Amino acid sequence: MTLYPGRILLALATLLAAPLALAHGISGDDQAFLINNPGAHIGPYIYLGAKHMVTGYDHLLFLAGVIFFLYRLRDVALYVTLFAVGHSTTLLLGVLGGFHVSPYLVDAVIGLSVVYKAFENLNGFKALGWQPNTKAAVLIFGFFHGFGLSTKLQDLAISPDGLVPNMLSFNVGVEIGQFLALSLILIGLNAWRATGSFMRHAFTTNVAIMSAGFMLMGYQLTGYLVT
């Protein structure tokens, strides 16, 4: 059976239908390591940061939407860098600065970021006669994605012993994981673009991504209201 990159993106969007995917965070074994191992642990924190990004379906859906119609590597690098700056800033600010926000509300905004990007890819804003600044939007949503991760780490009450090098290492891991995941997504997109099916299924794929974003928003807002 022939596999198409578009189907891979659709499958990635479908994963958000499962509550565990919607509420992805730090797994049990990883939680135990973070809580029970004070002091600096550079390598393990880099690994955990990379693991989180590679399994972070909401982050990957947003970034897949960001690069969906970017054909030049320079443009891809620019937008991904803006996201990384935003993500890194609030991740470190949240954990090291003790700036805490509601995880439900911040994850709902992350879901909104997925909806926004898919809606933009569908030319929704052009139909409304208004176009947001795409670079600013990616940076701002990057801030929220970073806060989303910081809330997961703050809930674990990680030891302050070695916290600064550990969080810097975790952030390095996040960027490594982002690079690896995006490289695979970009390779798949480029292969798909070389076929005639890309433009035929681009609309459907972005509708699926936007639907996944709405599902994430609904799940998190429901959690906020009932807790």
Measure the CA–CA gap between 48 and 54, rounded to whole angstroms.
10
The tally of CA atoms less than 13 A away on the side-chain side of residue 3 is 7
Instruction: Please indicate, yes or no, if residue 136 is contained in any of the structural domains.
Output: yes
In the chain, the number of structural domains is: 1
Domain range for residue 114? 42-226
Instruction: Please indicate, yes or no, if residue 18 is contained in any of the structural domains.
Output: no
Quick one: average pLDDT of 34-44? Answer: 83
DSSP state of 29: H
The residues near 3 (Cβ < 8 Å, ≥ 6 apart) are none
Higher pLDDT, 143 or 100: 143
Measure the CA–CA gap between 21 and 143, rounded to whole angstroms.
21
pLDDT tens figures, 150-171: 888 887 778 888 889 999 999 9
Instruction: Please indicate, yes or no, if residue 72 is contained in any of the structural domains.
Output: yes
Instruction: Please indicate, yes or no, if residue 9 is contained in any of the structural domains.
Output: no
Longest Cα separation, the chain? 55
Instruction: Please indicate, yes or no, if residue 11 is contained in any of the structural domains.
Output: no
Higher pLDDT, 218 or 17: 218
Nearest CA among 135, 139, 134, 108 for reference residue 119: 134
| Region of 156 on the Ramachandran plot (φ > 0 left; ψ -120 to 50 alpha; else beta) | alpha
Measure the CA–CA gap between 227 and 223, rounded to whole angstroms.
6
Phi and psi at 27, nearest 5°, equal -70, 170
- In whole numbers, what is the pLDDT of the chain averaged over residues? 86
Instruction: Please indicate, yes or no, if residue 121 is contained in any of the structural domains.
Output: yes
Secondary structure of 125-164 as H, E, C letters: HHHHCCCCCHHHHHHHHHHHHHHHHHHHHHCCCCCCCCHH
Q: Tokens 């935003």 belong to which residue? A: 86
Instruction: Please indicate, yes or no, if residue 73 is contained in any of the structural domains.
Output: yes
